[in-house]
Chain A
Amino acid sequence: MVKVTLDNVSKFFGKVRAVTDLNLEVGDGEFVALLGPSGCGKTTTLLMIAGIYRPSRGRILFDNEDVTGLPPKDRNVGMVFQSYALYPHMTVYDNIAFPLKLKKVPKQEIDRKVRKVAKLLRIDNLLARRPGQLSGGQQQRVALGRALAKEPDVLLLDEPLSNLDAKLRILMRAELKRLQKELRVTTVYVTHDQVEAMSMADRIAVMNAGKLQQYADPQGLYNKPANLFVAGFIGSPPMNFVEGSIREDLSGGYYFDAGAFKFKLPKELGELISSKSIDVVMGFRPEHVKLSLNREEYSIEGQVYVVEPLGRDIVVNVKVGDMLFKVVTKPGVELRPGQRIWLVLDVDKIHFFDKFNERAIV
């Protein structure tokens, strides 16, 4: 097991900047997710760690040893591709044994390792088949087996669950996490699915447009998003945003003016924000709002627009001016479209971002 360090790594394809000045440290045995929308450079980053792409600038270190110029075969990494990339002309057994054969492991040793890994992944009854005769979930496990059998220093996973159906995905999520903890192998996991990243990873690196947005543990990302992008990307349904400005009233109190509504702020909060910026974006999560039929302190008045029942929760869309806010609440209260309602915000869980540089203020 090793510690992986990306030191100011950039990758350009012609004029396209796929990854820019990325600094990242993955601890020994840690499970890190690279999270971001498609085309954000996360797979490129993974391929650089694997050694398939050579960084245009910067260094990649395994345990403080520079591996930037090393070809993939000398890095001892295992990788599961989004497409699985199983060798179609080989049986499952040969697929898993292939990296071991290349390492010149003795035949009996190969056999023992292949069977062990196959048993671990519950594919020991499929060893004689070819990939074309397997289901998606089975292929995925074979791909994982091939990556694990060589006992890699670093395990790289590129959206390994995205081709599975929803039920199997949830099952494999837990399996993968258990396996990673059991084997204690340093793992980098690429995904665009925030639920996958949140549920599996020790730490998450959120990327957008080739740049690292925030690198923190799941709770940190959820509670303290560093900027507007992270705030909007983490959480489902996503955070509600509203642009406005901070103003002082005659009595010295502060309020947030969004045009369609004014929202009174606690004095310390108002002072803190206005000392940094006047033009801000306010954000609050749908689950941090209480609905009330009467005006309360720290509330916004609106109208019920539409109600989406989800079984365990309901999502209420509330119209304020010409803005729509989503609110997650428990079912039970009868709500009619057009009904007048107040959104009571939890003041401690409101986020403010600078409108211009999009960084978090509070």
Chain B
Amino acid sequence: MARARGSLRRRLLRAKLAAVIKYLVVVVVAVVPLFPIWSMIAWLLIQSFSGRVILGLIPSSLTINNWRFLWSPIKMGLKEYPNIWPITFNTLLLALGVSGLVVLVSTMSGYALSRMEFRGRTALMEFIIALHAFPSVILLIALFVILNKLGLYGKGYMTLLGIVLIKAGLEIPMASWIIKGFFDSIPWDLEWAALVDGCSRWRAWRSVIVPLVLPGIGAISIFSFLAGWSEFLLVFTYVKDEAYYTLPVLIYHMIGEFKFIDWGMLAALGLFFTIPTLIFFSTSQKLLLRIYVGGVKR
């Protein structure tokens, strides 16, 4: 009896130990990858508010001098760049343009790919995904020719519009695929019910189907917003007038053109660059990631 109880206690202890080890592993796996990312963001934050940084880590002398680009034009040596606000506006325009266009086109194309029977649908879907395999770098020259012919090169906002079209075109294939999956998960019964209840097909799409794929629309709008917001190559190549720069290109010029780099301001700019993204993320998450379940028995 006594021996049996002893072994029971030992087994309990072992089980507890196993649980502790399991949790430790989980914590390590979950936290360690976050550590470098958070430490970098923390570094940005510290760097941007300090005048001097000792050993790249320990801040000294609190200052907001690094954030001076918020109220005055940026001077780099002899060159003076436009104020940050028009450039932020450009970036936002590009990102929202891409996001809006991608959502508009891919919700419709995704619906068609998911719901409509037509010849060559499978072939089309394979072709679409193959399109996504081309990086925009290899398209730069051809796209330049097209932009030029369309009269969209070197025309300020029209050039940005051209870039919106290109970037949206590159993002739409993947977005259509993603949203098609969401449409696929909506049973035909729901759409039929809407038709019987008195909807035209268009109305059924608008009033019943789209509200149910809002999470998918949320996902692709975030993805395409980020793609537009951080787009560098296309803007860098096609926009020559500094007034129509976007933030990534501006940041590049802070590093690229001079030997001397103002690390403090670069950190502040980097932090500034992430803020709208964070806002967009949190608001669209709240607004769009509403998932409704139930109402349809399977």
Contact = CB atoms under 8 A, between A and B. Distances in A.
A132 B195 CA distance: 22
A88 B291 CA distance: 9
B295 A84 contact: yes
A83 B197 contact: no
Contacts of A72: 192, 195-196, 198
B297 interface: yes
A79 B193 contact: yes
A98 to B, nearest CB: 6
A150 interface: yes
Nearest to B201: A71
B200 A83 contact: no
A108 to B, nearest CB: 19
Interface in B241-298: 290, 292-298
A190 B108 CA distance: 34
B205 to A, nearest CB: 13
Interface string A154-194: 00100000010000000000000000000000000000000
A87 interface: yes
Given A71-B195, A81-B193, A89-B211, A102 B203 contact: yes
B23 to A, nearest CB: 34
B212 interface: yes
Contacts of A146: 193, 197
A77 B198 CA distance: 9
A245 interface: no
Contacts, number: 96
Interface string A107-137: 0000000000000000000000011111010
B189 interface: yes
B193 A88 contact: no
A89 B186 CA distance: 12
Residue among A132, A146, A163 with max Cβ neighbours from chain B (10 Å): A132
Interface residues of A, number: 34
A61 interface: no
A79 B196 contact: yes
B295 A102 contact: no
B193 to A, nearest CB: 4
A134 B294 contact: yes
A149 B55 CA distance: 74
Nearest to A87: B208
B151 interface: no
Contact of A88 (B194, B196, B292, B298): B292
Contacts of B145: none
Given A85-B187, A87-B208, A102-B203, A78 B196 contact: yes
Interface of B: 187, 189-190, 192-200, 203, 207-208, 211-212, 290, 292-298
Query: Nearest 10 A-B pairs (CB), nearest first?
Result: A132-B294, A131-B295, A86-B295, A102-B198, A88-B292, A85-B189, A99-B197, A85-B193, A88-B295, A72-B195
Given A83-B298, A85-B296, A136-B297, 5 more contacts: A87-B295, A99-B197, A102-B203, A131-B294, A139-B294
